[in-house]
Amino acid sequence: MSTACDRLKARFARIALLGQAQSMLHWDAAAVMPVGGAEARGEQLATLSGLSHELLIAPQVAEDLAAAEASGMWDSANLALMRDAHARAIALPTPLVEATARANAACEQRWRTARANADFGMVAPALKEVVRLQRETAAALSAATGLSPYDALMEGYQRGIGAADVEPIFAAYESFLADALPRAEAIQAARPAPLPLPGPFPIPAQQALCRAMAERVGLEFSHARLDESAHPFCGGTPTDVRITTRYNTDSVAQALLGVLHETGHALYERGLPAAFAHQPVGEAAGMAAHESQSLIIEMQACRSDAFLRFIGPQLHAAFGGDAAPYAAANLAGLWRKVERGFIRVDADELTYPAHVILRFRLERALIGGELEVEGIPAAWNEGFQRLLGMTPPDDARGCLQDIHWHDGAFGYFPSYTLGAMGAAQLMRAARAGVPGLDDALAQGDFTPLREWLRLKVHGQGSRLGFQDLLREATGKALDPSDFTAHLTERYLTA
């Protein structure tokens, strides 16, 4: 029995290492790869995807899974995750896996040009191929799992949560937003306008500040890098985390808050249980869980009144000028401003879920065949108008702004808002369980919050799904009312 377990662990370690190599190639493509390398990179990723897939579907895996018996909580969870991974893998032919990786890489590169030219037509043919392959993948996974095709894709990003769980949560939030948004705008309009920060903000000074604040939160640069990319992200491996941002000399908030967000992701990766490295149970608990960790740092902690009292003097020291705009109350007016906008990554936390709700509905329709690629721009604009009362002026500020679909990530978007809700729930529990947490944040000390998250979330790996992780950490499953209570306190109190 131990031999079967040992063989499984060794095999899944190899699969994990191949996945880490793919992650590094993705980082390289986004951060430093020349445009001319795109075709070769697609072939490299396709080959690694094929090798991983073949390791996972080998007949020996099924035999070892049948023979292995778990001994203890972590081994039992690890075996269950191996079974799930194997079941999903054997549903997909290796040529489909390789074709998908190749098509995603090609479409992602074409998307960069299309977005720069605000021309959806430039990427539409490549996206058609991506969607075709995603539909084929979803159908195969649906047949193997008994889930709907879209739910089968969602399961790959956050297990145990499907469209039927998300729909009522999103519908309730849409109703909340219809009332809360105009109220928040009215309260905000009645206050004096905040003072703008006195830019410009030289990029070298921004880079130094971003690195210093990431270190403040707890990121060790002996195990991390900070680079630039068109779309900020966190990648790499738990011992070599790669985060990126983008800089704008007219705004320090874009880069700084982006780095703080990605640092939350990075801390999760760094805090995963080292004893289970390269095993399924040693990975993060899913993308909603991951988003909860980026948002508890960026939105819950770093936009709190307490932390703004700390960061203001740091900003003033870095960029100089009049000190008044860097006062905590003024920063709150700037960084917690409610404003309807076209770009998801720049959205405030009140309107952000509307961006996710739109994408959830469209991608579900795409996978289900109710929407075709050619119809995306019109459907996007119509949905955006309905949710936020605005129509994007061009594709770059509309359906071309995100990388996700062009990289084959369908079923991922709900994780953003589920994560925001989980972050509010976790922060409420952390404040109740960690005396003086806000006093520490006011000193730029993230140690109490970080240690609580290491214990309750990071160190749990993926032995628990998102709902059970929240139950153990907070005493209840996902409760969206904690999120709306947070928003009410922050934005609807005159």
Residues serving a catalytic function are: 262
What tokens appear for 347 in the block?
């959205």
What tokens appear for 64 in the block?
């070892």
What tokens appear for 269 in the block?
């990766």
What does the CA dihedral 168, 173, 175, 180 come to, rounded to 10 degrees? 170
For residue 411, what are the contacts with CB-CB under 8 A and spacing of at least 6? 150, 153, 154, 155, 156, 157, 363, 367
Element (H, E) at 46: helix 38-57
Q: Which residue has the tokens 């058609």?
A: 128
What tokens appear for 110 in the block?
């074409």
Least Cα distance to 150 among 371, 317, 438, 431 occurs for 371
The answer to whether 120 and 397 are in contact (CB under 8 A) is no
29 by DSSP, 3-state: which? helix
Q: Phi and psi dihedrals of 65, rounded to 5?
A: -65, -40
Q: Phi and psi dihedrals of 396, rounded to 5?
A: -65, -35
Rounded CA separation 338/491 (Å): 8
- Amino acid letter for position 135: R
* Torsional sign, CA 300, 303, 305, 308: positive
The answer to whether 313 and 442 are in contact (CB under 8 A) is no
Q: Which residue has the tokens 């995963």?
A: 272
Q: Tell me the HSE value of 415 on the side-chain side, using a 13 A CA sphere.
A: 26
Strand ranges, E, within 110-221:
none
Q: Phi and psi dihedrals of 162, rounded to 5?
A: -120, 180
The answer to whether 57 and 89 are in contact (CB under 8 A) is yes
For residue 481, what are the contacts with CB-CB under 8 A and spacing of at least 6? none
Give the number of other CB atoms < 10 A from CB of residue 291.
26
Q: Phi and psi dihedrals of 343, rounded to 5?
A: -100, 120
The answer to whether 245 and 232 are in contact (CB under 8 A) is yes
